[in-house]
A and B are shown apart, each in its own frame.
Chain A
Amino acid sequence: MKLELRKIKVTDLALGNEMKFENGLLTIDPQVIIDGLMEDVNVKSVKVDIAKPGDKTRIIPVKDVIEPRVKVEGSGNGFPGVTTKMEQLGSGVVNVLSGAAIVTIGDIVGFQEGVVDMWGEGAKWTPFSTTYNIVVDISVVDGLQPHDHETTVRIAGLRAAEIVGEVARNITSDEVEVYEMGSIFEETNKYPDLPKVLYVEMLISQGLLHDGYIYGVNSQKILPTLIHPNEELDGAVISGNCVAACDKITTYQHQNNSSIIDLYNRHGKDINFMGVILTPELTTLEGKFRTCDYTAKLCKSLGADGVIISEEGYGNPDSDLLMICKRLEDSGIKTVLITDECSGWDGMSQPLADTTKEAVAVVSAGNVSHVVNLPPAEKVLGNPEAIATLAGGWEGCINDDGSMKCELNAVIGSTSEIGYHNLTVKLY
């Protein structure tokens, strides 16, 4: 498979009367997005605003973040199986509005939505303070059940990304990233001496607001499955707005999965990167045994020498992470895990909900309960009071002047367990 991502660098963002891109400036006509999203009968109203890096703007509660793109060659524009008809992803040419992001907000459906600060103290904790954000505020029709509400806003975000992505259709870009990989046999013939490496990406699969989707299939319903890394980079995996904001994998992070990209960068040099195994995190013990055994079996069948395993969420998925690790290490396959920690406000508590001595190589993406103080914003997109009910906030954590105190739990992407951000934990 060969996928070309043509990166069109967005360096400024404005609202205007037409959709266009010129010399780095992306201009958004809100009405175009509103008209597109209002086609869904479940959408009552849509508001569109923008937030640029450095603006004293707070966005809350954030549901998902999506990168606007358009596929100009090859099959599968949009998000096949979800917003567009089923097509094979992973090959072709995609024009990417790189540096721009759709950020969806609206009434809280679940407590797992989050906050993005575009400036100052808050900005350094989230990767989405450096993107030029098109903020889409979605209200749904009255009486919609929570599951339908959630589906509606998720799809609206994806559609907004497609609508904005169209702007890039005829723009040329000098910066092209090429992701190309033959079959496992071809690559192994090419690099017979390099260690064979797989990436196991765990996906929360636990119900409303807690599911990842693969070509529109709820990950709850699958056995662990092998996917070409290009398919994920091409939009095959989307977020069901899962778990606490800090370590949910937003759709944007699937499209730009840092573990995939960093493994790709070493492919043919230090390692032979063979592919991605998507593994659901199930809540039942039987489910955990089934998926962990199955994941380990896939890794063994493919002859992996090394595996990176990334988690999504914390708590019971810690068990899945460590169960997979133990199975692989016991089979002689070397693992590195990426997780985050729940060590309390003071950092003094044990960091994981489970433990296994085989987990000797672990990357920590930060303590989800680390408390940050965020100054008042000049402009709030959404509802600042939402922080009191979000995971990571509490009643009284917002002050009269608009400043607030919250855990990283509430900050989107802060402790990303696919390693998208640069936090870690040190023992003091």
Chain B
Amino acid sequence: MTYKVLYYVNQFFGQIGGEEKADIKPILKMEKVGPALGFEQLLGGEAEVVATLICGDNYFNEHEEEALKFIIDAVSEVNPDIVVAGPAFNAGRYGMACAGVANYVVDELGIPVVTGMYKENPAVDHCKAKAIVVEVSDSAAGMRNALPVMAKITKKLLNKEELGLPQDEGYFPQGKRLTVFADERGSERAVKMLVARLKGEAFETELPMPVFDKVEPAAAIKDIKKAKIALITSGGIVPKGNPDRIQSASAQKWGKYNIKDIDSLKGGYYTIHGGYDPVYANEFPDRVAPLDVLKKYEKDGEIGEIYQYFYTTTGTGTSVGNSITFGVEIGKELKEAGVDGAILTST
């Protein structure tokens, strides 16, 4: 069986014209145009370029929504096994068009995309996490070197072969930190790295330090005595029986529970958190999520009211990616409910 490839190019590589044709609307040609010709030869008969999509760079960037609608319809009609775009070299608008097509095709249709860009093309960062972006030179003079690399990767993806390391295969890292087996155990690698450092020799860290987001604190609450306060914890406090089956580590979800009619979590709640000694939290879950104190504050008029739902998940081993999702989802609910402030506890 030969696989089907759909090729995307701009007006120039689509042989329609130069800058003066940059506002042409997308068209689908059921033939190989421009780089698609040479590209197909490099696939060695394993796959065929069945169609070429051509769109003006200005049109795409100025009418992205319409362009993508046409493109997604065209891709659905052709139903390729893979989409190849560019290479866009250092062309900014062409790069953004390739990135836009790539992200949309991957997200909406789940079809893999291979493209090529120069390392300083700003579009690299827009799509490298979703598409495979081959590192190419800064001008079309590099076409001859770019296409074989793109073709080799395309064949591997079509044959469901695992791609090697980005630096070996020639694409930009997608930002996935994948677990693999090393030739030596970790301690041996550590000792070697230390000896190299002490001798002043070259060494390479296996884990470059992450760069953290900074979150601006919200403005102060104007009148705490009228404020609606929510209670949130990453301490794994859940109703006994863990009805939503929240994980004890590496949480994939959060839960919310009605606390309107109780003055304390004692008795009905316990912890499923796998990162601390649960004995004392199980004795008295308010030690982790202080509902008892909040309720007292509410009665004494120290705060306006307590939001009727309590939000909870497990913090230990939970990825930052999941945490961001949880935060956005919970934050949206709190905002819609008119909550003014939240007590967040961790363990």
Do B321 and A346 touch across chains, with their CB atoms under 8 A apart? yes
Q: Chain A: which residue is nearest B245 at the CB level?
A: A395
Pairs of residues from A and B, 7 with the lowest C-beta to C-beta distance, nearest first: A419-B186, A344-B319, A419-B187, A207-B277, A391-B249, A391-B274, A111-B274
Do A347 and B317 touch across chains, with their CB atoms under 8 A apart? no
Contact with A along B169-187 (1 / 0, CB 8 A): 0000111111111111111
The reply on B306 being an interface residue by CB < 8 A is no
User: Would you list which residues of chain B between 246 and 265 have a CB under 8 Å from chain A?
Assistant: 247-250, 252
Report 30 cross-chain contacts, Cβ distance below 8 Å, ordered by A residue: A111-B249, A208-B277, A208-B279, A244-B274, A262-B190, A262-B191, A266-B195, A306-B198, A310-B187, A314-B316, A315-B275, A315-B317, A334-B194, A334-B198, A335-B194, A343-B319, A344-B319, A348-B177, A350-B212, A352-B207, A352-B210, A366-B179, A407-B250, A418-B186, A420-B187, A421-B185, A423-B180, A424-B189, A425-B177, A427-B173
User: Would you list which residues of chain B between 190 and 233 have a CB under 8 Å from chain A?
Assistant: 190-191, 193-195, 197-199, 203, 205-207, 209-212
Report if A419-B206 is in contact (Cβ < 8 Å); known contacts: A347-B176, A407-B250: no
The reply on B165 being an interface residue by CB < 8 A is yes
The reply on B80 being an interface residue by CB < 8 A is no
Closest CB in chain A relative to B35 CB, distance in Å: 26
Q: Write out the residue numbers on chain B whose beta carbons fall within 8 Å of the beta carbon of A263.
A: 191
Do B274 and A336 touch across chains, with their CB atoms under 8 A apart? no
Do A367 and B178 touch across chains, with their CB atoms under 8 A apart? yes
Closest CB in chain A relative to B190 CB, distance in Å: 5
Closest CB in chain B relative to A350 CB, distance in Å: 4
The reply on B322 being an interface residue by CB < 8 A is yes
- How many chain A residues touch B (CB < 8 A): the figure is 90
A193 CA to B173 CA in the complex, in Å? Answer: 42
Best-buried of B191, B315, B322 by chain A (most CB within 10 Å): B191
Q: Write out the residue numbers on chain B whose beta carbons fall within 8 Å of the beta carbon of A363.
A: 186, 189-190, 193, 206-207
B interface secondary structure, majority: loop
Contact with B along A373-397 (1 / 0, CB 8 A): 0000000000000000111111110
A389 CA to B197 CA in the complex, in Å? Answer: 43
Q: Write out the residue numbers on chain B whose beta carbons fall within 8 Å of the beta carbon of A364.
A: 206-207
A124 CA to B180 CA in the complex, in Å? Answer: 11
User: Would you list which residues of chain A between 248 and 267 have a CB under 8 Å from chain B?
Assistant: 258-259, 261-263, 265-266
Do B183 and A422 touch across chains, with their CB atoms under 8 A apart? yes
The reply on B163 being an interface residue by CB < 8 A is yes
A208 CA to B273 CA in the complex, in Å? Answer: 13
A263 CA to B186 CA in the complex, in Å? Answer: 12
A99 CA to B226 CA in the complex, in Å? Answer: 67
Q: Write out the residue numbers on chain A whose beta carbons fall within 8 Å of the beta carbon of B43.
A: none
Do A361 and B197 touch across chains, with their CB atoms under 8 A apart? yes
Do A426 and B277 touch across chains, with their CB atoms under 8 A apart? no
Report if A423-B195 is in contact (Cβ < 8 Å); known contacts: A112-B274, A342-B319, A428-B176: no
Report if A424-B210 is in contact (Cβ < 8 Å); known contacts: A243-B275, A306-B197, A348-B176: no
The reply on A356 being an interface residue by CB < 8 A is yes
Report if A428-B250 is in contact (Cβ < 8 Å); known contacts: A336-B194, A363-B190: no
Q: Chain B: which residue is nearest A408 at the CB level?
A: B179
Closest CB in chain A relative to B80 CB, distance in Å: 24
Q: Write out the residue numbers on chain A whose beta carbons fall within 8 Å of the beta carbon of B174.
A: 428
A interface residue numbers (CB < 8 A to B): 110-112, 124, 145-147, 195, 197, 206-210, 243-244, 258-259, 261-263, 265-266, 270-271, 283, 305-306, 308, 310, 313-315, 334-339, 341-352, 355-357, 359-370, 389-396, 407-409, 416-428
Q: Write out the residue numbers on chain B whose beta carbons fall within 8 Å of the beta carbon of A347.
A: 176-179
Contact with A along B300-337 (1 / 0, CB 8 A): 00000000000000011111111000000000000000
B interface residue numbers (CB < 8 A to A): 129, 163, 165-166, 173-191, 193-195, 197-199, 203, 205-207, 209-212, 245, 247-250, 252, 272-279, 315-322
From the candidates B194, B250, B273, name the one contacting A369 in the complex (CB within 8 A): B250
Q: Write out the residue numbers on chain B whose beta carbons fall within 8 Å of the beta carbon of A365.
A: 186
Best-buried of B163, B212, B278, B316 by chain A (most CB within 10 Å): B316
From the candidates B177, B203, B206, name the one contacting A343 in the complex (CB within 8 A): B177
Q: Write out the residue numbers on chain B whose beta carbons fall within 8 Å of the beta carbon of A416.
A: 186
A351 CA to B277 CA in the complex, in Å? Answer: 24
Report if A244-B317 is in contact (Cβ < 8 Å); known contacts: A362-B206, A409-B250: yes
Q: Write out the residue numbers on chain B whose beta carbons fall within 8 Å of the beta carbon of A360.
A: 205
Best-buried of B249, B317, B318 by chain A (most CB within 10 Å): B249
From the candidates B206, B272, B277, name the one contacting A209 in the complex (CB within 8 A): B277
Do A110 and B319 touch across chains, with their CB atoms under 8 A apart? no
Closest CB in chain B relative to A362 CB, distance in Å: 4
A363 CA to B193 CA in the complex, in Å? Answer: 8
Do A369 and B247 touch across chains, with their CB atoms under 8 A apart? no
Q: Write out the residue numbers on chain A whose beta carbons fall within 8 Å of the beta carbon of B317.
A: 244, 314-315, 342, 368-369, 391, 407, 409
Known interface pairs A427-B176, A428-B176; 4 further A-B residue pairs with C-beta atoms within 8 A, sorted by A's residue number: A349-B320, A391-B250, A409-B250, A428-B178
